Amino acid sequence: MINCTDAVQRLWDYVEKDLDSQEQASMEDHLALCRRCCGEVEFAEEIRDLMKEASKPRIPDEVSERLSEYLDDLEGSAS
């Protein structure tokens, strides 16, 4: 079984599912027994999710409304 140092070194690869099946199993065995590393994984998953959310482009409400109106006009003129 791996120790905490090894688990932390593999943390991001584990979260991103970039480990081979043997490494994945070793991490899961370790996580089944180590509450500290489980917390690290949960934290890493939260950070990953926040980073993904933050990287999504945000359209200002005004632009979104204008775009919707424009698309509605296009649909109306196509009929």
CATH code of the domain covering residue 19: 1.10.10
Q: What is the pLDDT of residues 4-47, one digit of tens each?
A: 999 999 999 999 999 999 999 999 999 999 999 999 999 999 99
Distance CA 54, CA 8 (A): 24
Question: pLDDT band at residue 58, thresholds of 50, 70 and 90?
Answer: confident
Q: Tell which wins on pLDDT, 34 or 57.
A: 34
Question: Are 16 and 49 contacting, i.e. CB atoms less than 8 angstroms apart?
Answer: no
Q: How many domains does the chain have?
A: 1
Beta carbons within 10 angstroms of residue 65's beta carbon: 11
Give the range of the structural domain holding residue 57, as residue numbers without chain letter: 4-78
Residue 79, pLDDT above cutoff 70:
no
- pLDDT value at residue 6: 94
**Would the pTM count as exceeding 0.75?**
no
